[in-house]
Amino acid sequence: MKILTCPLNGPRNMSEFTYGGEYHPTPDHADASAREWAEHVFFHHNTAGVVTEWWCHNASSYWFLAERNTLTDEVLRTFDCDQVYNQRIDFPAVTTPEARK
Amino acid sequence: MPFGLLKYGLSSEYPAQQHFSPPGDLKKHYDVVIIGAGGHGTGIAYHLAKYHGITNVAILEKSYLGGGNTARNTAVIRSNYLTEEGVRFYRESVKLWQNLSNEFDYNVMLENRGQLTLAHSDAAVRSFRWRAEVNKHMGVRSELVDRQQIAELVPNLRMAEDARFPIMAGLWHADGATARHDAVVWGYARGACQRGVELHQLTEVQDVEITAGRVSAVRTNRGRVGCGAVVQAVAGASSVVANMAGIKLPIHSYPLQAMVTQPYKPLLTPHVSSPHVHVYVHQTSRGEFVIGGGSDPSPLYNTRATLEQRESLSAAALELFPFLAQARLLRQWAGTTDMTPDYSPIMGLSPVENYYLDAGWGTWGFKATPICGVSMAELVATQKVPDIIAPFALERFYRFEQINEAGATAASH
């Protein structure tokens, strides 16, 4: 059984984790177009090589990031997502139809 | 011809039939370059040459003919999908399969065995009824069958009511079939080569040159080749090749593993699949049981076989066919499946004007081989998107018009 090191729970069996997709920087919520959102949600680099991706430790529902080589399946490192999301994002209420577009 | 055979047998030479063009130098320019010599690539070349008179065509293959996912899939042919667009597309493909051996005078060993999908929950029964109604409306033979009918169709299936996941009902698809995968690609490639298409194996496309929004050439390990148009037909490497042309695709590439047992006498006629226990089983004409299932849990560009998948596939197969507990496994292998968010392919135009996509073939590529040959060749020749593939355009993801076939997979990936 492969072992993955969870930043919160330490080394655990691979079967305790769920893959959560490629990490993409979130588009600017204030002015991203529908096309940019579509790209963010559906499209992937799908790189053959080292990628950054989301993983979840099922038992603790803890989401974190991992760098993994998609040619060899080697995990280079795992880290807490506060290394990427280190600024507070405030979502102002959208009021007008124009602002929703 | 007994005398011909006798003469051949007594001859000191055994002239082998020359199927494909002998490997020669690459030309400086081709009207159409097809990347990938699998069933799709050779099928497109065959139709371009035979029906559209476009013969200045090269098929560039980094490895050998039909050695990618054409060789790695489990050769299931069916059209019992869920959406109107999907059913129409695969229905036409199943029709073309019926006449494929005659089409290129090469026996693809088509066997119309039917396919049975099993429901182990009320939700699955409801979705099967939905699929059966859509299928019947579209002229595809699908019907809901009860436990007694299932027992008659597959007498050695475990029907125990105290099973971990008791079988509640099934979706019987009489149009289900299988064929010899090598013969498909050889038949297409031979027919294409006879009409002037060049097949270049061990020729890897390493970069795509784009000038003013158009492909002008591809760079290979054997030099630069100018081209009027490019079709990429590289299941398992769609994102990597498209990236050379600067195109990003909605694909994650996962390995999908399968395995076969030692041969047995004929015991099982239809394909049997269970999305609930993640397995499908059928017996080949050679007698081997083919066991396939869900994808690996995370993306990977690697075709290694794992003990975890062997264990889970075996456990699932034994749920349905306990007699396989005695079977020895001969082989286990993997193919790389380019999974799209809606489990439908990406076909047609791309953001680059003369660069055509035949991508995102996940776990549904083999059955679509003949219709891809027809429709992609028509697209390249006429530069108009045929109606039957229009819904599968890359643009659908920007319009939020996905064609969701996730509920119609054989083994729930």
At B330-368, the pLDDT tens digits run 999 999 999 999 999 999 999 999 999 999 999 999 999
Residue to mutate among A2, A4, A42, with most B CBs inside 10 A, is A42
Out of B251, B298, B302, the one facing A46 most closely (by C-beta) is B251
User: Residue B375 and residue B365: Cα distance in Å, rounded?
Assistant: 14
Q: Which residues does chain A have within 8 Å of residue B398's beta carbon, measured at their own beta carbons?
A: 34-35, 38-39
- Specify the pLDDT at position B17: 74
Q: Which residues of B touch A19 (CB under 8 A)?
A: 297-299
Residues paired with residue B173 on neighbouring β-strands, in sequence order: B115, B142
Binary contact (B397, A38; C-beta < 8 A): yes
C-alpha distance from residue B102 to each of B20, B79, B108, B110, B251 (Å): 19, 21, 9, 11, 35
Q: How many CB pairs under 8 A join A and B?
A: 56
Across the range B269-276, mean pLDDT stands at 95
Task: Tell me what the mean pLDDT of segment A21-41 comes to.
Answer: 91
> What does the pLDDT look like over B115-126, one tens digit per residue?
999 999 999 999
Instruction: Between A99 and B153, name the one with better pLDDT.
Output: B153
Kindly identify which residue of chain B lies nearest to residue A38, measuring between CA atoms: B398
- pTM for the full predicted model: 0.93
Q: What is the mean pLDDT of chain B?
A: 95
Residues 17-46 of A with CB under 8 A from B: 18-19, 21-22, 34-35, 38-39, 42-46
* Per-residue model confidence (pLDDT) at position A95: 65
CA of residue B356 relative to chain centroid, distance: 18
Interface residue ranges in chain B relative to chain A, Cβ cutoff 8 Å: 237, 239-240, 243, 248-253, 297-302, 308, 341, 397-398, 400
Beta bridge partners of B119: B169
Tell me the two tokens of residue B43.
């099928």
Residue B398 to chain A, least CA–CA distance (Å): 6
When comparing pLDDT for B166 and B411, which is higher?
A: B166
Q: Is residue A96 over pLDDT 70?
A: no
Handedness of CA B310, B316, B317, B322 (dihedral sign): positive
Q: Is the pLDDT of residue B207 over 60?
A: yes
pLDDT tens column, B394-404: 999 999 999 99
Using pLDDT thresholds of 50, 70 and 90, give the confidence band for residue A88: confident
Portion of chain B with pLDDT greater than 70, in percent: 99
Sequence length of chain B is: 413
Strands (E), B186-326: 198-200, 205-211, 214-220, 223-232, 252-263, 271-274, 279-283, 288-295
Assigned token pair, B188: 């297409």
* Interface mutation vs chain A, best among B257, B301, B346, B396, most A CBs within 10 Å: B301
In 3D space, the residue among A27, A26, A20 whose CA is nearest the CA of residue A64 turns out to be A20
How confident is residue A2, by pLDDT bands cut at 50, 70 and 90? Answer: confident
Q: Do B251 and A18 touch (CB under 8 A)?
A: no
- Please report, as a single letter, which amino acid is at residue A77: R
Task: List CB contacts (< 8 A) between B237 and chain A.
Answer: 48
Contact A38 B301 (CB under 8 A): no
Q: Which of A1, A47, A71 sits opposite B302 (nearest CB)?
A: A71
Q: Which residues of B touch A18 (CB under 8 A)?
A: 297
**B302 → chain A, closest CA residue:** A71
Percent of chain B with pLDDT over 90: 92
Residue closest to B277 by CA, chosen among B260, B291, B289, B294: B294
How far A46 CA sits from the closest chain B CA (Å)?
A: 6
Which long-range contacts link B330-333 to residues 24+ away (Cβ below 8 Å)?
Answer: B330/B259, B330/B260, B330/B261, B330/B262, B330/B288, B331/B259, B331/B260, B332/B257, B332/B258, B332/B259, B332/B305, B333/B72, B333/B257, B333/B258, B333/B259, B333/B303, B333/B305
Summarize pLDDT for B10-45 with one digit per residue, the tens: 888 777 777 887 778 999 999 999 999 999 999 999
**A87 CB burial (10 A radius; 0-12, 13-18, 19+):** exposed
C-alpha B38/C-alpha B71 separation (Å) is: 8
Coil/strand/helix, residue A65: strand
In sequence order, which residues have a C-beta less than 8 Å from that of residue B155 and are 6 or more positions away?
none
Look at residue A99 in the predicted model and tell me its pLDDT: 56
Q: What residue spans define the domains of chain B? A: 22-73+182-251+342-408, 112-176+253-337
What's the ipTM? 0.90
Question: Per residue in B216-246, is it b (16+ CB within 10 Å) or e — as a string?
Answer: bbbebeeeebebbbbbbbbbbbbbbbbbbbe
Q: B302, A46: Cβ pair inside 8 Å?
A: no
- Choosing among 3.30.70.100, 3.30.9.10, 3.20.20.70, 3.60.15.10, the CATH entry for B112-176+253-337 is 3.30.9.10
B398:A38 CB<8 A? yes
* pLDDT score of B294 more than 90: no
Interstrand relation of A17-22 and B329-339 (parallel, antiparallel or unpaired): unpaired
Amino acid sitting at position B124 = A
B298 contacts A44? CB cut-off 8 A = no
* Residue A72 touches partner B, C-beta closer than 8 Å: yes
| Distance to chain B for A56, nearest Cα, Å | 12
Q: What is the mean pLDDT of residues B226-251?
A: 97
C-alpha radius of gyration, chain A, whole number: 17
- Return the higher-pLDDT residue of A91 and B192: B192
- Helix (H, G, I), strand (E, B), or coil: what is residue B45? helix
Which residues share a beta bridge with B210? B215
Residue B370 tokens, joined: 């003949």
Nearest-by-CA chain B residue for A22: B252
| One CATH from 3.40.630.30, 2.60.15.10, 3.40.50.300, 3.50.50.60 for B22-73+182-251+342-408 | 3.50.50.60
Domain spanning A3-87+94-100: which CATH class is it, in words?
alpha beta
Residues across chain A: 101
Distance from CA of A10 to the nearest CA of B (A): 20
What is the least distance, in Å, from the CA of B305 to any CA of chain A?
Answer: 13
In B120-232, beta strands by DSSP E:
142-145, 169-173, 177-178, 198-200, 205-211, 214-220, 223-232
